[in-house]
Structure 1
Amino acid sequence: MDLRSILSPEDVLTEFTAAEKTELLRELSGRAALTVAVDPQLVLSEILRHEELGSSGVGNGVAMPHARFRSLVSPYGVLARLKQPVEFAAIDGIPVDIVFLLLLPELPAVGQLQALACVARQLRNPEILLSFRKAPDAVQAYRAVIGPVEESPSCDAEIRNRTIGR
């Protein structure tokens, strides 16, 4: 899976502001819901339900909140760089300044795991994180995470059918 099949340049937000975790998740859920035509309250409630099971703060200032939806046929993501980090109950206790909200189709389970692995692979790379954090705008931030087209890392599968027309 290529990260470009999950994330588009328009879905990268820099200098995003939120006072706390729930506000952050509400704003990102609302934005994602509009794009994939899912009820915003449903997206938020599913994201929050997953957060109750355990924080999606994976460490090093990164969180990957996610949820599954029957109406989706392929993964969709929104990536935000926060102006000020927020407390997220991350595994290392570090407040979060990078959030990749990921909406997944309910089936197949293999595709869900591949999408999560693809995002995690990119966001655990220290060089990518540094470039993303230093990027002057959303276009450069997107390029930092995706990398050059000819060198873009594959995440081991292909998903080409999007739930939305782009």
Structure 2
Amino acid sequence: MTHFDDIVSSSALATGLSVNGKKHLFLKIADIAGEAYGLDPARVNEALTERERLGSTGFGGGVAIPHAKMEGLDRMRGIVVLLDPPVAFDAIDEAPVDIVFALLSPTDSGAEHLKTLARVSRYLRDEAQIARLRGARSDAALHAMLAGNEARDAA
């Protein structure tokens, strides 16, 4: 079972988020990162936008993993949003995206950045996980899933 409570704060989540495109989405993610982690939203937005210019981080099946390395981070940070309605994302399969797992890494995190990206990617390739994430109706439910304690919370 993969858990993300090491990188995703319970305050770095949003369910049912409505945005009008990728640019607006990155601004929202930047605001959430600012609130949850004390990061400068303008810098977060700039880092994600800059990385996205290299190629879309939408990897199909309605999922995107925008990611960037940033100065001043002490460790990996994640922001997870569920979009309603889905937005166009230039994904590999051209499907609109409704699950976004943004990852921010320290600039010197080379191997850790790649390992965490792979961990998130594996998690989001699992159809059962995707279905469960899409079923999350609150930030608390989403956090319970990501932290791996949804069974305990459901009791």
Distance 1:149 1:19, change over 3 A: closer
C-alpha RMSD of the superposition: 1.8
How many equivalent residue pairs? 150
Q: Classify 1:38/1:8 alpha carbon distance in 2 versus 1 (closer, same or farther; 3 Å).
A: closer
For residues 148-159 of structure 1, the aligned pairs below 5 Å read 148=149
CA positional deviation for 1:30 = 2.0
> Cα deviations across residues 46-71 of structure 1 (Å, max 9, x unaligned)?
11111110001011100111111121
Tell me if structure 2 keeps the 8 A contact 1:3–1:118. Answer: no
Residues 18-97 of structure 1: pairs in structure 2 closer than 5 A: 18-97=19-98
Q: Cα distance, 1:11 vs. partner? A: 1.8
Whichever residue aligns with residue 118 of structure 2, its letter is A
Higher strand share: 2
Q: Secondary structure at the match of 2:11?
A: helix
Deviates more, 1:48-57 or 1:5-14: 5-14
> For residue 154 of structure 1, what is the aligned residue in structure 2?
none
1:108 matched to 2:109? The reply is yes
Name the counterpart of 1:14. Answer: 15
Give the structure 1 partner of residue 6 of structure 2. Answer: 5
Cα distance change, pair 115–105 in 1 and its aligned pair in 2 (3 A): same
Alignment-derived partner of residue 153 in structure 1: none
Question: Which residue in 1 is equivalent to 2:136?
Answer: 135
Gaps in structure 2 of 5+ consecutive residues: none
Distance 1:149 1:137 in 2: 12
Aligned residue type for 2:5: R
The one-letter code of the counterpart of 2:102 is L
- SS of 1:4's equivalent in the other structure is coil
TM-score (norm 1): 0.83
